[in-house]
């Protein structure tokens, strides 16, 4: 996974003494593999549960535990660590630490550093027993921290270390990284509603067979991830894929056929600012679906097809002057020529064209290389990860609505 806004940032990880702190070791390991500077603070009780050398070895970083013992000459840990960090993440954050932070305590290195941290990029990963999480005092403290500018990542539901089942579980570390990346991302899409289609569609022939394509959905999902990180309210409408919906995308809809995708897209486009049609939709569907499996009865089988609705073209007909529509042109030859025709024929604002005949950037690849085409001209985006390509596409779209 690629996290463009974490790159080259200084991350300060604060670890309090919940039993889930062993999962924070994995978070430190994952952060180490990214291009970040990492420092870690353990509370005194956390150090009783796990030796700081574990975090130091796994994170390849310095680990601090005491205001007094870690002073070195003029270097004072709580003021220096808070000044150097671009983002402060407390994971796991226990009920006790949450209460102290809300009350303004500075009685250990973690809370003292939090008191000195004056940037907006500060995150609480709340993790505890369900009844402790739902305790009115804890909920009041979390609300108080939100009012002070802390970004709260609420716990997952599931099996807890105590044996109970409920809300309080430490989130998946990939989701924590995505949450951090979103906190660090620019917010140029805040207040914007964006509809994105992604993945393939399936048009059934009979209960066994169907017409589909090789789209993995990766480009559409990365666009959804990027836009959500940058503050957009994203409606992701996806055909069948093997992908997990991006954590920050809260409105996800699963469909199979073009008709299903078309209806949902029209529904949400009415209130949307931008529509990005990244799905690889079937141009045709079977005219007469067979309720029973078609048997081998002759050497040849003729299946009559009829046209599916052209979603991008229909949006081009109904959009207003402020709405932006973006389409994709996945071609195998004359890529730019076809993309320019599509821009005009579909009344689109932007067409993202790519050559799917290339194995290094084609279907299911994690890489892409595109040309962005609009009435203002063409912009070539060099081969890169699909997340980095999504950054370039979103920057290009942003330049259109900011004019």
Distance between CA atoms of 315 and 347, rounded to whole angstroms? 8
Spatial distance between the Cα atoms of 224 and 214, rounded to a whole number of angstroms: 20
The answer to whether 294 is a known ligand-binding residue is no
**311 annotated as a binding-site residue:** yes
Q: Per the annotation, does 328 bind a ligand? A: yes
Q: How many CB atoms lie within 10 A of CB 175?
A: 16
293 is in an annotated binding site: yes
| Three-class DSSP labels, 55-119 | HHHHHCCEEECCCCCCCECCECHHHHHHHHCCEEEEEEECHHHHHHHHHCCCCCHHHHHHHHCCC
Q: Is 394 a catalytic residue?
A: no
CA separation for the pair 22, 164 (Å, rounded):
19
- Closest by Cα among 163, 139, 147 to 155: 139
Of 19, 76, 161, 162, which residue is the catalytic one? 162
C-beta neighbour count of 384 within 10 angstroms = 18
- Residue partners of 332: CB distance under 8 A and separation at least 6: 355, 356, 357
Across 20-49, b (16+ Cβ under 10 Å) vs e yields bbebbbebbebbeebebebbbbbbeebbee
309 annotated ligand binder:
yes
Non-local (6+) Cβ contacts of 395 within 8 A are: none
Residue 283 annotated as binding?
yes
Binding-site residue positions: 283, 293, 309-312, 328, 342, 346
Annotated binding site for CTP: 283, 293, 309-312, 328, 342, 346
Catalytic sites, residue numbers: 162
């Amino acid at each position: 996974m690629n996290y463009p806004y974490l790159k080259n940032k200084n991350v300060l990880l604060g670890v309090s003494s919940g039993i889930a702190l062993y999962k924070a070791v994995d978070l430190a390991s994952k952060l180490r593999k990214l291009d970040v500077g990492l420092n870690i603070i353990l509370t005194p009780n956390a150090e009783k549960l796990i030796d700081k050398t574990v975090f130091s070895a796994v994170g390849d970083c310095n680990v601090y535990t005491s205001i007094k013992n870690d002073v070195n000459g003029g270097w004072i840990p709580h003021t220096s660590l808070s000044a150097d960090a671009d983002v402060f993440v407390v994971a796991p954050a226990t009920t006790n630490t949450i209460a102290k932070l809300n009350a303004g305590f500075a009685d250990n290195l973690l809370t003292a550093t939090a008191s000195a941290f004056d940037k907006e990029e500060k995150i609480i990963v709340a993790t505890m027993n369900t009844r402790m999480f739902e305790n009115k005092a804890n909920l009041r403290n979390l609300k108080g921290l939100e009012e002070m500018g802390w970004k709260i990542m609420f716990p997952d539901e599931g099996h807890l270390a105590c044996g109970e089942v409920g809300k309080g579980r430490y989130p998946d570390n990939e989701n924590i990284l995505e949450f951090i990346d979103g906190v660090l991302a620019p917010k140029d899409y805040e207040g914007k509603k964006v509809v994105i289609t992604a993945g393939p569609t399936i048009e059934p022939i009979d209960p066994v067979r169907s017409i589909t394509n090789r789209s993995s959905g990766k480009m559409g999902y990365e666009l959804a991830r990027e836009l959500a990180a940058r503050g957009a309210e994203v409606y992701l409408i996806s055909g069948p894929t093997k992908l997990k919906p991006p954590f920050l995308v809260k409105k996800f809809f699963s469909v199979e056929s073009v008709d299903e995708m078309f209806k949902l897209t029209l529904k949400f486009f009415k209130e949307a600012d931008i529509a990005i049609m990244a799905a690889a939709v079937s141009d045709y569907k079977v005219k007469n679906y067979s309720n029973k499996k078609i048997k081998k009865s002759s050497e040849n089988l003729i299946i009559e097809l009829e046209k599916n609705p052209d979603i991008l073209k229909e949006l081009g007909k109904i959009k207003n002057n402020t709405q932006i529509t973006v389409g994709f042109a996945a071609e195998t030859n004359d890529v730019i020529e076809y993309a320019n025709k599509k821009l005009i024929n579909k009344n689109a604002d932007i067409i993202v064209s790519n050559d799917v005949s290339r194995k290094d950037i084609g279907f299911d690849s994690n890489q892409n290389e595109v040309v962005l085409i609009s009435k203002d001209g063409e912009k070539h985006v060099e081969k890169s990860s699909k997340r980095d390509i999504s950054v370039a596409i979103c920057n290009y779209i942003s330049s259109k609505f900011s004019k």
